[in-house]
Structure 1
Amino acid sequence: MPEPMTRQRLRRELELENLLQAEPVAPGSWARFVEPRGVGLNHIFILRCRGRDWVGRKTLQRDEHARLRLDSRLAPWMLLGPLGQLHWGDEGLVLDYRATRQADKVAAFADALGAPDSEIYFPFPALRRNGREFVCPPDYWAFTEGLASKLDKGEAHLRHHCCTLLRSWLKPGAVIHDPACSTGTFIHQLALALPDSRCIGSDRSPSMIEAARNRYGRSVDFRRADAADADPVSLYYDVLVLRFLNAEVMTRSEAEQLLPRLVETLVVGGRLIVFGHTPVLPAMDYLASRCALTLVSRLASCSVTGQLFQFYVLTKDSR
C-alpha cells in the first residue's frame, strides 16, 4: 500500500511543516537540507522558472478538519530556496540552497505561474526498500466506497481546472477519452460541463467500470479496456485526459513507453492533458519533441488556494 503513516513519519512531517514555514535567520545565506533514505525522497521537487531552479519538499497538508493528508498541490512555503547543488551520501540526499524569505517564495510561485516555460517536476519516484520503483498492485484499484471517496476528493481542483480549460477550447461534437477513468467521476464532470461533447471512459478494473456505469452511465460511455493496449476504444479522440502516468501507478519507463502509443489515438490538432494525484513520471519536454507534440503549459494554480500543481497541456502537430 502507498506510504503507510507511521508515528516516525508523522513526527517528521510535523517538524518539516514548522521548518519550512519559519523565516530564515540569514536570508540569502547558504543552507542545507538532508532528506534521509526511504519515504520522503519522492516528495522532493524542483520548480524551474526563467532558467532558475528552486528546490522544495512537499509535505502532508491539512484538510478542512486540520487532518494531515497527501495532496497534489504545492504551497509556496514548501520551497526551500534557489538550488545550489545536490549530493547523495550515506545520510541520504543533501541539498544546498539559498535561504529565502516567505514573501520571496510567494513571489517565486506568482512568477512561475506567469512564465510559460515554468515547470514543476519530481526527480525521485516512490521507491521500495530495495531501490526499485513502488507500484500499487492491481487489486489496490478495485472499487470500494472508501477508495472512491479518497480519489474523488483529492482531484476536485483538477476537475475544476480541466472543465474550465476545455470550455474555452472545444467545439461541439468533440470526443473526450479518459483511458483510466477509475471511479468515473472525472469524465462525468467533463460530460456535465461540456454537454455538446461525447465523453468516453475506460478502465481495466472490472469493479471500477461497473461502479462508474452504475453511477454515471447516462452521461458517459464506459468501456472495460486496458490503457496499456493504447488502442482506440471506438474512434480517435480530440482530447485525451491522462491521469495515470504517475508515480505509484506505473514505473517511469512504463509511462514513457506508453505515452507515444497513446498519442497515436489523438487526432491532429487534438489536446493531450497530463496530471494526477501523484507526480507525473514522463519527461514531457523530451517526449514532446519525439512525438510531434507542442507543449502549451506545464503547471496550473488552484482557484481556491492559489497553490500550484503539475498540469501539462500539449497539442498534437502534423508530422
Structure 2
Amino acid sequence: MILGLFVDQRVTESKVILHYYPFENAEKLLLMKNVIESDGKTGELVFPYSLLRESSGKELCSPPEGWIVDDAFDVMLGCGEERIRQFTIQFMKSVNISKATLYDPACSTGVYLSTLKNAFPDAYTVGQDLSQQMADMSRERVDKVYCGNAMEPKISQGTADFVYVRFLNSEVVTSAEAEELLSALLPTVKKDGYIIIFGHTPVLLSSANFLALKDFNLIQSLGVAVDKTGIFQYYILQRS
C-alpha cells in the first residue's frame, strides 16, 4: 500500500505514529509504474518495525528445531514463492553462468531449487535445512541435501555461484540472528558469484547493511513480478 511522502515518525511505548503528505491515486500509480519499468533497479521496500510478541516484547521467530511440514504446508510454501521463482529464473538467464552451483541454506521442501534445476538442467543444486523432516522431503527434489543450521554451511567456502537466502525474515529469525547468519553465509559465494536475499515475510536487513559489506556490491533491492503486477524485496549482491 502506498500512502504518501514520508515526513516524520514517533515511536511510543504502545504505537508508532507516522506523518506523511498523502498522494493522489494517480501519483501512486505513477510511482508504481516507474518502479516496475525500471525492473526493480530503482527504489527499495523497507520494513523498519520488527514484529514483537505482545506478551514479552521480543521478536517473533520460528521454533529452534524448525517447522513441522505436511503436504498442504508444502504446497502453500511453493505457491507463495511462485512469482519470486519466475523473477529468479529471469535474472539468472541475464547473467548466464553455465553449470552453476546453486546453494539454498534453508531449502525447506526443495521446491525452490528444483524449479531452478528444471530451468537450468546443467546446474548442481545443494540444499540445507535445520529441520530433518524438510531435509528428507527435499532429497527427492535436490541433487545434494544436508540437515544442519545455516550458521554452519555444509558447502566449502567460495564454491557457490548463487546462494539463495530466504529466511533472514520476520517471524523466522531475530534481527540479531539475521546479521550473524548473513556473515556466516557470505564466504560460501564464489568470486563474481551472487547472494540473493528475499522471503515470504519482511527481510530484517536493508540496503544499509548490504552496502557496508566488504567485497560485495549491491546490484538491486527490488524484484518485479514477471507479469508486472507487483514488486517485492529482492536483494542481489555480487562478490567482487
Residues 65-89 of structure 1 show CA distances to partners (whole Å, capped at 9, x for unaligned) of xxxxxxxxxxxxx111101111123
Give secondary structure in 1 for the equivalent of 2:180.
helix
Q: Which moves more between the two structures, 234-243 or 117-126?
A: 234-243
Residue 283 in 1 paired to residue 206 in 2?
Answer: yes
AA of the residue aligned to 1:128: R
Q: CA RMSD in A?
A: 1.9
Distance 1:234 1:93, change over 3 A: closer
Give secondary structure in 2 for the equivalent of 1:141.
coil
Alpha-carbon distance in structure 1 between the residues aligned to 2:146 and 2:87: 25
Select the residue among 119, 123, 129 that pairs with 2:44. 119
Alpha-carbon distance in structure 2 between the residues aligned to 1:205 and 1:180: 9
Alpha-carbon distance in structure 2 between the residues aligned to 1:134 and 1:254: 12
The corresponding residue for 2:221 is 298
Give secondary structure in 2 for the equivalent of 1:229.
coil
Alpha-carbon distance in structure 2 between the residues aligned to 1:299 and 1:187: 20
AA of the residue aligned to 2:233: Q
Instruction: Say whether the 8 Å CA contact 1:272–1:315 is kept in structure 2.
Output: yes
Alpha-carbon distance in structure 2 between the residues aligned to 1:256 and 1:119: 19
Distance 1:179 1:240, change over 3 A: same
AA of the residue aligned to 2:161: D
Looking at both structures, which has the greater relative contact order when contacts are Cα pairs under 8 Å and sequence separation is at least 6? 2
Give secondary structure in 2 for the equivalent of 1:146.
helix
Distance 1:267 1:87, change over 3 A: same
Distance 1:91 1:241, change over 3 A: closer
Residue 147 in 1 paired to residue 73 in 2?
Answer: yes
Q: Which moves more between the two structures, 148-157 or 232-241?
A: 232-241
Distance 1:210 1:85, change over 3 A: same
Give secondary structure in 1 for the equivalent of 2:27.
helix
Structure 1: unaligned runs, 5 residues or longer? 1-77
Instruction: Say whether the 8 Å CA contact 2:69–2:134 is kept in structure 1.
Output: yes
Select the residue among 219, 227, 237 that pairs with 1:314. 237
Select the residue among 189, 192, 203 that pairs with 1:269. 192
Select the residue among 6, 11, 30 that pairs with 1:107. 30
- Trace 1:229-244 onto structure 2 (pairs within 5 A): 229-232=152-155, 236-244=159-167
Alpha-carbon distance in structure 1 between the residues aligned to 2:221 and 2:155: 26
Alpha-carbon distance in structure 2 between the residues aligned to 1:165 and 1:235: 21
The corresponding residue for 1:247 is 170
Q: How many percent of aligned residue pairs carry the same amino acid?
A: 30
Superposed displacement of residue 92, structure 1 = 1.6
Instruction: Say whether the 8 Å CA contact 1:256–1:287 is kept in structure 2.
Output: no
Instruction: Say whether the 8 Å CA contact 2:158–2:191 is kept in structure 1.
Output: no
- Trace 1:177-256 onto structure 2 (pairs within 5 A): 177-214=103-140, 216-217=141-142, 220-232=143-155, 236-256=159-179
Residue 171 in 1 paired to residue 97 in 2?
Answer: yes
TM-score by length of 2: 0.91
Alpha-carbon distance in structure 1 between the residues aligned to 2:66 and 2:179: 23
Instruction: Say whether the 8 Å CA contact 2:156–2:188 is kept in structure 1.
Output: no
Superposed displacement of residue 229, structure 1 = 1.1
The corresponding residue for 1:84 is 7
Give secondary structure in 2 for the equivalent of 1:119.
coil
Q: How many residues align?
A: 237
Instruction: Say whether the 8 Å CA contact 2:9–2:16 is kept in structure 1.
Output: yes
Residues 176-228 of structure 1 show CA distances to partners (whole Å, capped at 9, x for unaligned) of 101110010000001010111111111121111111123x25xx322223212
Give secondary structure in 2 for the equivalent of 1:296.
strand
Q: Which moves more between the two structures, 162-171 or 293-302?
A: 162-171
Alpha-carbon distance in structure 2 between the residues aligned to 1:107 and 1:297: 20
- Structure of larger gyration radius: 1
Instruction: Say whether the 8 Å CA contact 1:203–1:223 is kept in structure 2.
Output: yes
Residue 161 in 1 paired to residue 84 in 2?
Answer: no
Residues 66-117 of structure 1 show CA distances to partners (whole Å, capped at 9, x for unaligned) of xxxxxxxxxxxx1111011111236621111112111211111222342734
The corresponding residue for 1:26 is none
AA of the residue aligned to 1:155: E
